[in-house]
Structures are given as structure tokens and as C-alpha cells.
Amino acid sequence: MESIAKRTLVKSAPELWELADDPARMQAWMSGLIGAGTPVTVEVTERDPERTLAWRSSPPGSPARISIELAESGFGTAVRITAEHERPDPAEAIAALEGLLDELGSPERRPFA
């Protein structure tokens, strides 16, 4: 099954790339997608800096893939996340992808803190 989530985030492509190209985050996001309670080992399958990042789950039994595409869009960056998964309820996968977008879009630093 394929699920897609997209949103324009008020961050630059380099900022988003720095967040997304992190093995620990990729493992946690894959865990959320497949509904695992612990981080899932992943293998990066595509890396085009500041444009496309894709990875898949390594363990057998729950094959899944996540791809993030970044494109400049006005005052931010258009982010499109495509996931291939075997979750029976597609709403759970969409919720996981929306959570990923929320995490990417949240402020990392607070001014004057």
C-alpha cells in the first residue's frame, strides 16, 4: 500500500535536509510507519542532497519504504513524503507521516531563550 503526505514548511531545504538525513530519525520514523515499538534498522536507498532521501526497513517481515522529496516553494520548502507499507489501516500510516512532517516543521531553536 502507498501513502502520501505533503506540506509546505517554513524552513529551507538545507535545514530540512540536516534534520532528515539522520540515521536515528530515519529509524524512529520507520518504526512509526510500521507500528513497531522500537526503532527499526534501515538502509538508505537514495540520497540526492537537499532534494531526495529514501530508505527502507532492513528486517524481514515488515517491508516498508519512505521517500522524502524537497522542492523550493515561495517562502519555504514543499515536502512530499511517500511511504510504501503493509499496514492494514492506511489512516495509521498517514498519521505517522503527518507526525514526521510536524517534527520536520517544528522550530529547533528558540530565540532569546
Assign 110 a pLDDT band (cuts: 50, 70, 90): low
Q: Give percent of the chain with pLDDT exceeding 90.
A: 75
Q: Per the domain annotation, does 10 fall within a domain?
A: yes
Question: What residues make up the domain containing 46?
Answer: 2-105
The domain tally of the chain equals 1
Q: Per the domain annotation, does 112 fall within a domain?
A: no
User: pLDDT tens digits for 40-50?
Assistant: 899 999 999 99
Q: Per the domain annotation, does 100 fall within a domain?
A: yes
∠ CA 59-62-96 to the nearest 5 degrees? 110
CB atoms within 10 A of CB 96: 23
User: pLDDT tens digits for 2-41?
Assistant: 999 999 999 999 999 999 999 999 999 999 998 888 888 9
Q: Per the domain annotation, does 111 fall within a domain?
A: no
| More confident position, 85 or 62 | 85
Q: Which amino acid is residue 11, in one-letter code?
A: K
Q: How far is CA 40 from the centre of its chain?
A: 14
Q: Which amino acid is residue 92, in one-letter code?
A: E
